[in-house]
């Protein structure tokens, strides 16, 4: 065999080995990436999200109540919950209301109810700049802690108005943003039976129900008793929001 031909054959073989080695490395890397995809995703930065419900087959449900003004309706709401044996309820209250009703706030904690913050002023937080937004949410958190001596971990934006800026700000304060999957629309006072029907017909495992204990919701106390009894008949058990979302936070975050 001519020396030149043998030389080029050797060169070609070396090149082929390099090409084969390259493709082998690429192929092996792809296999490793595929096998470790769950680990890689776990370390990927997660956007802040809002919790609407929990994905579960267990018949668990959370009753939540927003309060920003008034003192007439909150008492019968609390009494109804106690009478029906449901202490696993969560109240979201605004800072001004809490400061004006420290005795009720303390009673909520003493009774065993859970507290979350509605922030400070009742307004749409997506319209605020970052500095003002931070102050509004932190004020709501600080006021509740000053009254109860306990930190809160749950935040609900007033009117359910939020965006990524709101979510990230709440998250930076260690707060979990909680919305709802069932809106009773009780503040419209459509009638006791209508409020009850809305909740019972929409009830699903892992649901979070939005109700109100402000004075504008005049029919809530009576409807509440019917709601609780109906849910019990259907086999539901009641949980605070923190109890409901425990272990499910990553699974139910929804990014707008």
Residues 53, 101, 212, 253: which is the catalytic one?
212
Residue 34, both tokens: 């595929």
Q: What are phi and psi of 81, to 5 degrees?
A: -60, -45
Is 66 a residue of the active site? yes
> What is each CA distance from 248 to 206, 240, 241, 253, in whole angstroms?
10, 14, 11, 9
Residues 53, 66, 101, 253: which is the catalytic one?
66
Is 212 a residue of the active site? yes
Burial of 158 (C-beta count, 10 Å sphere; 0-12/13-18/19+):
buried
Distance CA 62, CA 239 (A): 5
Residue 160, both tokens: 């359910």
Distance CA 182, CA 199 (A): 7
Report the catalytic residues. 66, 212
């Amino acid at each position: 065999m001519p020396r030149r031909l043998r030389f080029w054959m050797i060169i070609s073989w070396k090149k082929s080995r390099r090409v084969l080695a390259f493709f082998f490395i690429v192929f092996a890397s792809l296999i490793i990436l595929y096998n470790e995809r769950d680990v890689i995703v776990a370390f990927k930065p997660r956007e802040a999200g809002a919790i609407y419900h929990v994905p579960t087959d267990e018949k668990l449900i959370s009753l939540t109540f927003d309060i920003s003004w008034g003192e007439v309706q909150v008492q019968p709401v609390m009494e109804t919950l106690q009478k029906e044996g449901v202490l696993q309820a969560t109240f979201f209250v605004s800072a001004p209301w809490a400061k004006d009703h420290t005795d009720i706030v303390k009673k909520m904690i003493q009774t065993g109810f859970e507290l979350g913050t509605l922030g400070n002023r009742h307004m749409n937080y997506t319209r605020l700049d970052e500095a003002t937004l931070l102050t509004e949410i932190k004020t709501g958190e600080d006021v509740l802690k000053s009254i109860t001596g306990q930190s809160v971990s749950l935040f609900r934006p007033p009117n359910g108005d939020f965006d990524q800026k709101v979510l990230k700000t709440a998250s930076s304060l260690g707060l979990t943003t909680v919305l709802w999957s069932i809106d009773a629309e009780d503040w419209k006072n459509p009638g006791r039976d209508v409020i009850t029907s809305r909740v019972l017909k929409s009830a699903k495992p892992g649901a979070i129900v939005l109700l109100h204990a402000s004075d504008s919701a005049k029919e809530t106390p009576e409807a509440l008793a019917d709601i609780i009894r109906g849910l019990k008949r259907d086999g539901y058990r009641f949980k605070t929001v923190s109890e409901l979302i425990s272990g499910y936070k990553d699974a139910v975050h929804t990014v707008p």
